[in-house]
């Protein structure tokens, strides 16, 4: 069972991401800044006002969602919680509910994702031992997930978070994860990182290939 504190305050009406800054959840966790905005939610930096420990908080909107979308949200939370008991998976700490939002409290990795560490910070290029160490940690995380029947399905540098100057990497974002070993879902994940076989199952790409070959 996931740890669930008392209900958190609700913001009335539609709000922009910055409107929640300063909000205190469950009397102890204050949202401080917007870390990122995605299709499925907003990620905030937050701090425990009693201990000053930083966290990341993913706010998943509940307003206007149909039953299927809510089921996907719950699946993401449950699978991430189940997989998070590993040093190379971002820890899911708590779940907080309000009328309009589900707040997922996560371990905070302040150095950003692996993609920015490679392309902007140049942390790994030219440092083969560090790159090897990161790669092995990602493999450990994936093996752990597979050993408990969880398949991430969106493995990419943007979904791997970095800490300790690149010495530690952690798998994040279980939004597309599943427990189905065999599935009819094709085209999951990000196009740039798909295998050739997976790309052939994406209708838009198949159509372009047929047009070019005709």
122-177 per-position pLDDT tens digit: 999 999 999 999 999 999 999 999 999 999 999 999 999 999 999 999 999 999 99
CATH number for 167: 1.10.510.10
Same structural domain, 133 and 175: yes
- The last residue of a domain, from among 107, 123, 158: 107
Same structural domain, 39 and 100: yes
For the chain, state the CA radius of gyration.
Answer: 19
105: which strand partners? 57, 94
- The last residue of a domain, from among 107, 130, 152: 107
Question: What's the pLDDT tens digit per position in 18-64?
Answer: 899 999 999 999 999 999 887 678 999 999 999 999 999 999 988 88
Please confirm, yes or no, whether 128 is among the known catalytic residues: no
Which pLDDT band holds residue 4 (cuts at 50, 70, 90)? very low
Same structural domain, 135 and 89: no
CATH number for 88: 3.30.200.20
Place of tokens 């199952």: 201
Annotation: binding site for ATP: 58, 158-159, 173
Same structural domain, 65 and 153: no
Structural contact between residues 151 and 120, judged by C-beta atoms closer than 8 angstroms = no
The phi and psi torsions of 25 (rounded to 5 degrees) equal -90, 130
Same structural domain, 125 and 209: yes
Residue 1 belongs to some domain of the structure = no
Residue with the larger pLDDT of the pair 4 and 178: 178
Same structural domain, 103 and 119: no
- The last residue of a domain, from among 107, 133, 157: 107
Same structural domain, 140 and 163: yes
Long-range contacts of 82-88 (CB under 8 A, 24+ apart): 82/148, 82/150, 83/144, 83/145, 83/148, 83/150, 83/171, 83/174, 83/177, 86/140, 86/141, 86/144, 87/168, 87/170, 88/137, 88/138, 88/140, 88/141, 88/144, 88/168, 88/169, 88/170, 88/171
Annotation: binding site: 58, 158-159, 173
Q: Among residues 66, 100, 128, 154, which one is catalytic? A: 154
Most confident of 32-46, 109-123, 183-197: 109-123
Residue 7 belongs to some domain of the structure = no
Share of the chain above pLDDT 90, in %: 65
Same structural domain, 180 and 163: yes
Query: Structural domain tally of the chain?
Result: 2
Locate 153 and state its tokens. Answer: 């399905």
Residue with the larger pLDDT of the pair 193 and 13: 193
> What is the value of pTM for the model shown?
0.83
Same structural domain, 74 and 123: no
Residue 43 belongs to some domain of the structure = yes
Same structural domain, 189 and 99: no
Domain of residue 141: give its range: 114-213
């Amino acid at each position: 069972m996931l740890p669930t504190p008392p209900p958190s305050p609700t913001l009335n009406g539609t709000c922009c991401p910055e409107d929640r800054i300063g909000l205190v959840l469950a009397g102890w966790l204050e949202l401080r800044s917007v870390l990122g905005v995605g299709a499925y939610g907003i990620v905030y930096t937050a701090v425990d006002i009693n201990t000053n420990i930083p966290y990341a908080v993913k706010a998943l909107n509940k307003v206007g969602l149909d039953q299927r979308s809510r089921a996907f949200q719950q699946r993401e939370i449950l699978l991430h919680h189940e997989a998070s008991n590993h040093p190379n998976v971002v820890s899911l700490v708590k779940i907080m509910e309000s009328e309009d939002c589900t707040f997922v409290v996560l371990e905070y990795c302040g150095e950003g994702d692996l993609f920015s560490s490679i392309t902007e910070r140049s942390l790994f290029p030219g440092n083969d031992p560090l790159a090897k160490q990161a790669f092995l940690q990602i493999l450990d995380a994936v093996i752990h997930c597979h050993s408990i029947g969880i398949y991430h399905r969106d493995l990419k540098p943007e979904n791997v978070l970095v800490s300790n100057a690149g010495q530690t990497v952690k798998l994040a974002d279980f939004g597309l994860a599943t427990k189905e070993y065999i599935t009819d879902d094709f085209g999951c994940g990000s196009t740039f990182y798909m295998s050739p076989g997976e790309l052939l199952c994406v209708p838009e790409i198949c159509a372009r290939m047929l047009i070019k070959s005709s």
